[in-house]
């Protein structure tokens, strides 16, 4: 996989994570639904999915299995930070 494709797919993963987090956090603060009030569905499950997606993308890039897992951690943290930035500022924590 070439770097422009990797960057495009990584941006798609981050954008999907941000949209999911925004809408579920919005539902959590405004509607008090049972699904949105669960930390598992708001934080943990999306983090696992994003981590696996980044590890898979890095593995497809040609990195070793260990290298892809190690590099997926900071990318997942960056994705979480970016996806939480707007909802936390708009709806509060």
Domain enclosing residue 58, as ranges: 3-91
Question: Which tokens sit at 51?
Answer: 């981590």
Model pTM? 0.90
Decide if 75 contacts 10 (C-beta within 8 A).
yes
Give the max Cα distance, the chain.
44
Question: Residue 35, Cβ neighbours under 10 Å: how many?
Answer: 11
pLDDT at 35: 83
Query: In this predicted structure, what is the pLDDT of residue 23?
Result: 92
Q: What is the mean pLDDT of each run of 10 residues along the chain (93 residues)?
A: 90 96 91 85 94 96 92 96 92 81
Helices (H) and strands (E) in the chain, counts: 4, 0
Number of domains in the chain: 1
57, 6 contact by CB (below 8 A): yes
């Amino acid at each position: 996989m070439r770097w422009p494709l990797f960057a495009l797919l990584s941006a798609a993963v981050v954008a999907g994570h941000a949209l999911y987090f925004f809408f579920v956090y919005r539902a959590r603060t405004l509607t008090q639904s049972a699904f949105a009030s669960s930390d598992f569905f708001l934080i943990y499950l999306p983090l696992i999915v994003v981590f696996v997606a980044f590890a898979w993308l890095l593995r497809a890039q040609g990195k070793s299995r260990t290298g892809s897992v190690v590099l997926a951690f900071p990318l997942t943290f960056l994705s979480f930070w970016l996806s939480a930035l707007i909802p936390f500022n708009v709806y509060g924590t």
